[in-house]
Structure 1
Amino acid sequence: MDTLLNVIDVEATCWEGRPPAGAVNEIIEIGLTVVDLAAGARLAKHRILVRPRRSRVSEFCTRLTGLTQAEVDTGIEFPDACALLVKEHRADSRPWASWGDYDRNQFQRQCKATGTRYPFGSRHTNAKLVFTQANGLKRRPGMATALDIAGLPLDGRHHSGADDAWNIAALVLGLAATGDWPEGD
């Protein structure tokens, strides 16, 4: 049985207020951590930079994510990033998780808008919801707050897709260790 799970976190173009005319949120970084649920280990940390086509990285976005327009200009096209997820990370068949539904919804919106094949299979787990229920919380915490609640450090930079996926993976492994992670996911 495959006990591997892809933990995904994306960063997208963003603005302090309304987006400029014609601009839309586009994925600029895909962070992916491969987790072996049976072994209780994070196996690999990946970062895919994605070149936006309909928007630019704002100063606000750079302050938040650390990503610059020049850096994401070195990335690959969104359809190529989706194909890479399938080819190298078995995204179409391996279960995956993200912190909340934003990442899943952003991929669905962007795939539809660009005519790109959605790279993921149907086995998605909202790790934020599982964490909230497992800890009997009334409100769903952000990832950094969840790390505090779990007594785990925040490794790296918050709002870095690669670092956030790594941190979410630690939360997932904590849930799996206590039997709170859904079976088969």
Structure 2
Amino acid sequence: MDMGERGAYLLNVVDVEATCWEGQPPPGQVSEIIEIGLTVVDLRAGERLAKHRLLVRPARSKVSPFCTELTGLTQAEVDAGLPFAEACRVLAAEHRTGLLPWASWGDYDRNQFTRQCRATGTAYPFGQRHTNAKIAFTASYGLRRRPGMAQALETAGLPLEGRHHRGDDDAWNIAALVLDLVGRGDWATG
């Protein structure tokens, strides 16, 4: 099977971490993406193919102690990251985010990209084929409330791999949940 054929079954699973504070942001600061995790899933083969991580340098905020405690990311680490516009270009060029369908756990990631692209005049790097994996999981398992990612892993009997609230690890874990849904017949495979 050539890459074009295989591409018909690929899905990008995306998770972002953003600057955050305990309570309201300091004056003049806004929540900005500081890490993008992306896992490539082959839906037909039922495999997670690759795990990627992009660090993003915030332009209008700083990493708070609360944010470091939550994500493990420090200001020094993200200062070495890419500018947001460059990170979006990398997503489109290297991960075909404009062409491939993508999924995230909830709508936060999609909305954060939309807001930040609009605020910075950056081209939105994703196509229109987005699936909220949290809604699909909730329906598949007949749950009354939408679970967080860690709770969903527990419900599905899957381990939490890596560190929660790290973009690359969360994308990897969300991809495992997507593959669980594929196995249950509750995720379209192409």
Please state which band the TM-score falls in when normalised by the shorter chain: over 0.9
Q: CA shift at 1:53, angstroms?
A: 0.2
What runs of 5+ residues in structure 1 fail to find an aligned partner? none
Question: What pairs up with 1:98-109 in 2 under 5 angstroms?
Answer: 98-109=104-115
User: Does residue 9 of the first structure (1) align with residue 28 of the second (2)?
Assistant: no
Contact 2:150–2:160, Cα closer than 8 Å, also in 1: yes
Corresponding residue to 2:144 among 138, 163, 177: 138
Aligned partner of 1:33 in structure 2 is: 39
TM-score for both structures, normalised by structure 2: 0.96
User: Does residue 112 of the first structure (1) align with residue 124 of the second (2)?
Assistant: no
Distance (whole Å) between structure 2 residues aligned to residue 89 and residue 123 of structure 1: 15
**Structure 1 SS opposite 2:82:** coil
Structure 1 stretches of at least 4 aligned residues deviating more than 4 Å after TM superposition: none
Corresponding residue to 1:93 among 99, 102, 108: 99
Q: CA shift at 1:69, angstroms?
A: 0.2
Question: What pairs up with 1:11-90 in 2 under 5 angstroms?
Answer: 11-90=17-96
TM-score for both structures, normalised by structure 1: 0.98
Q: CA shift at 1:182, angstroms?
A: 3.2
Distance (whole Å) between structure 1 residues aligned to residue 9 and residue 85 of structure 2: 27
Distance (whole Å) between structure 2 residues aligned to residue 153 and residue 64 of structure 1: 20
Q: Provide the identity percentage.
A: 73
Aligned partner of 1:151 in structure 2 is: 157
Distance (whole Å) between structure 1 residues aligned to residue 141 and residue 33 of structure 2: 31
Q: CA shift at 1:177, angstroms?
A: 1.1
Corresponding residue to 1:163 among 150, 169, 177: 169
Aligned length: 184
What runs of 5+ residues in structure 2 fail to find an aligned partner? none
